[in-house]
Structure 1
Amino acid sequence: MNSCAKLLQELTAGTHDEVLAALYALDGTQASLDRAQERAAQVVRSFAEIFTPEEHASVALFSGPGRTEIGGNHTDHQHGHVLCGSVDLDMLACAAPNGKEVIRIHSQGYPTLEVELSSLLPRERERNTSAALVRGVAAKAAELGYPLSGFDAYVTSNVLSGSGLSSSAAYEVLVGNILNHFCCGGALDPIQIAKIGQYAENVYFGKPCGLMDQMGSSVGGAVAIDFADPSAPLVKKVKYDFTRSGHALCIVDTGSSHGDLTDDYADITREMGAVAAHFNKRFLRDVPEADFRAAIPSLRVRCGDRAVLRAIHYYEDDRRAVQEGEALERGDFARFLELVNASGLSSAVHLQNTWSISDPSQQAIPLALAAGQELLEGTGAIRVHGGGFAGTIQAFVPNDRLEAFRSGMEALLGRGKCHILHIRPQGGTVVIG
């Protein structure tokens, strides 16, 4: 059992350095470990300032990481395969039971939110708020039969806003792990916690998301998911240590906005669905690729060329997502990089989600990709990240080219736009319990 004072003393003494290094110092440097140690200590100090430490006999640290899509761009909504992974940016919380029937969470920079456990039905006024996510996670845990009790938590986050790293999933996984530790006796596994997070986001928050974000955050490392049955996806943790790849993961913010892109995203789903409907199916996963290819001449007339190209992307990127995971498990990082590059090319040429037809003068992603390819000089890999049309790109950059790559991208896009991340081996977790 750790009091705030005891935990601070241990952090300062380096007692937990090995645990922190495994999450936050994946580049192996002392500077990264020092930053992680100070961040953890600051979270504990902030908890003690916001809440009354004398009321909490035992505090613990929890982490809910952001996630990155690695393979399978826009394949999940067609019941296909994806490859995703947790990253070393996260939501970090110091939390403790409060002996009350209320959850109180103070996120850095925001007012403290309170969720009464006496009523866990969805509330319309809470839709699209953090309170809805907390209430939804608690409600599902209660529905599963676990006796709930309140806790206090202070949360800080370095998950980049608008980066496609899914801060909402990180938050859901964080809250799920806190409840699992304090109320469920650790009985919930990472997949269950991910599903609870999706339930909260779908039913309480009001966003009809899939399960990739929560799985990537909760399971940790590289995660292969087969969405043949979205209600019960097949999840496999891919065994590969990215710290030995000789490459760093870069997420580059192009400075372009995701605003007003709803129609662009909807068109992808609609057009892929139209191709599937030609075969009296709802999803491309249920249409044999050979049947699709034989019908391309008639599909061009019925659905249009862009729909055909997007269906081609689905079949090829669905296959690549599986092959990427297999290459990693073989330790064949060179083949993995080839597949990532092929996915990026297909997203640009077939899926066509690197710029919006509604604003053709804005092509920040193609420009950033072109600049990145020049900087990589045939090494590494680069692709659009996430939903596309605007936002971020992803690159796997050889360590010996990392500083030149970052400097070059930031010369084009602005200081602080290139973020060097790592695929961390652990998902949502009790960091120090």
Structure 2
Amino acid sequence: MLRQSSLSAEIGNGALDSRLRAMTGCDPSELPALCARLSHVLSRYGKIFGPDGEVGLFSGPGRTEIGGNHTDHQRGRVLAAAINLDALACAGPNGTDTIHICSAGYPDIAVSLGDLAVQPGEAGTSAALVRGVAARFTALGHPVSGFNAYIESTVLGGSGLSSSAAYEVLIGVIVNHLFCQDAVSLVQIAQIGQYAENVYFGKPCGLMDQLASAVGGIVSIDFKDPETPIVHQIDYDLSASGHALCIIDSGADHADLTEDYAAIPREMGAVAAFFGKDVLRQVDYEAFWQNIPALRKAAGDRAVLRAIHFFDDNLCAQKQATALESDNFVQFLNLVNQSGISSSEHLQNLYSASAPGQQALPLVIALARRLLGGTGAVRVHGGGFAGTVQAFVPFPQLDTFRGRIEAAFGKGCCHVLRIRPEGGAVIAG
């Protein structure tokens, strides 16, 4: 840990520049803005919690799903990556049994470590995530003490870039550094975040978001054994491919989509249950095709189609990882498009059947394909129905592409992102 004054001096004299470049993969021209953001967070902490205490600077990045759409909850494979948008914190121990967190734009949080049981009234709140992370660290034999933190995030809520996973990983990294001597692995921190979100926050999410945020870079993840997922980092420089990674916010309404999301694992599960299995990963592929007539009667046509998507996209995610590792970006782009077509035709998660007049996602995809003109790639991003679209855009086309997309769907809807080499990180302290 460092005194606030010492940390401020390190930011100002460039001592953290190499650390920031290693963590974010940024260009030197971006360092002044990054350092200004660090200084602001450090200053806000001092104004709220008092000057010159011992603190550290911490970061939890957002993530993008690159391959494997709705495959993780069936113990399949995914390809994902940390991105250059993050939740950033200044934090330090406070010598009490209470965690105090102030986050820009959100209510302050005070979580007593004297009661780490699930609080029903906290469901769906940041306080639930903090309590859940602290509870899980404690249950794993890592006593947690009180700390103060000030947090600012550039990961937009509802953007499909997993602001919740960035927050969970950030809190986990803080606790790990302040009280565990960084003994807990990044994979364990991801699992702790998932536990907090499942049990305390009340959202039955998979582990993809937290793992991508915690581990960093591009990661191929196999969830065949969810307790010990196989995580493989892929050393690939996306910028060297000549393409920009764009995430486009469709502006579609997220309200009342719970049943649409829940129907996907339920219907996939119905197909698995036909074979006496828990998830589709356990189902024999050839046996599935041989039983299509009986499956249609038992689970319905849409469930069968969604199972086809799982089998196809599970294999596609593996092929995408192989394409990147062999530096075959043309094949990678073909596979991204293939995944997008499967999501549209088989998974059917581009719009809600209960509101057929609202089809912003397929409209974004249609315009993006027209603008790309056979180059690049485009697919639904994340859960679907509303939310975001992912596009890989050749650099010479980027300005025109972004301008036309934003003219149709709103200024600022097209986010140009960069893959971040590191995931959950201690920046200094």
Q: Identify the TM-score tier after normalising by the shorter chain.
A: over 0.9
Alignment correspondent of 1:303: 299
Alignment correspondent of 1:364: 360
Flag as ranges the 4+ runs of structure 1 deviating above 4 A. Answer: none
Alignment correspondent of 1:22: 22
Q: Is the 8 A contact 1:23 1:88 kept in 2?
A: no
CA distance in 2, matches of 1:182, 1:336: 41
Q: Displacement, 1:21?
A: 2.9
Alignment correspondent of 1:167: 163
Q: Displacement, 1:201?
A: 1.2
Alignment correspondent of 1:380: 376
Alignment correspondent of 1:46: 44
Q: Displacement, 1:404?
A: 1.3
Instruction: Render the CA deviation track for 1:72-104: whole Å, top value 9, x for unaligned.
Output: 111112121111111110100011112222211
CA distance in 2, matches of 1:266, 1:127: 18
- The answer to whether residue 182 in structure 2 is matched with residue 186 in structure 1 is yes
CA distance in 2, matches of 1:136, 1:302: 39
The TM-score normalised by the length of structure 2 is 0.96
Q: Is the 8 A contact 2:25 2:421 kept in 1?
A: no
Alignment correspondent of 1:226: 222
Task: Name the aligned partner's letter for residue 418 of structure 1.
Answer: C
Answer with 146-155 or 402-411: which moved more.
146-155
Alignment correspondent of 2:3: 3
Q: Displacement, 1:25?
A: 5.7
Alignment correspondent of 1:327: 323
Q: Is the 8 A contact 2:25 2:420 kept in 1?
A: no
Q: Is the 8 A contact 1:219 1:427 kept in 2?
A: yes
Q: Is the 8 A contact 1:24 1:33 kept in 2?
A: no
Answer with 340-349 or 273-282: which moved more.
273-282
Instruction: Render the CA deviation track for 1:144-203: whole Å, top value 9, x for unaligned.
Output: 222322211110001011111111111111011011111000101100101111111122
Q: Displacement, 1:219?
A: 0.7
Give the percent of matched residue pairs that are identical in Structure 1 and Structure 2: 56
Query: CA 1:399 to 1:19, structure 2 compared with 1: closer, same or farther past 3 Å?
Result: farther
DSSP 3-state at the match of 2:393: strand
Alignment correspondent of 1:242: 238
Instruction: Render the CA deviation track for 1:268-321: whole Å, top value 9, x for unaligned.
Output: 222222222222223211111111112223333433322222111111100011
How many residues align structurally? Answer: 429
Q: Displacement, 1:349?
A: 1.1
Task: Name the aligned partner's letter for residue 129 of structure 2.
Answer: L
- The answer to whether residue 254 in structure 2 is matched with residue 265 in structure 1 is no
CA distance in 1, matches of 2:301, 2:377: 28
Compute the RMSD of aligned alpha carbons. 1.5
Task: Name the aligned partner's letter for residue 340 of structure 1.
Answer: V
Query: CA 1:144 to 1:218, structure 2 compared with 1: closer, same or farther past 3 Å?
Result: same
Q: Is the 8 A contact 2:217 2:234 kept in 1?
A: yes
Q: Displacement, 1:24?
A: 4.3
Q: Is the 8 A contact 1:272 1:284 kept in 2?
A: yes
Q: Displacement, 1:222?
A: 1.3
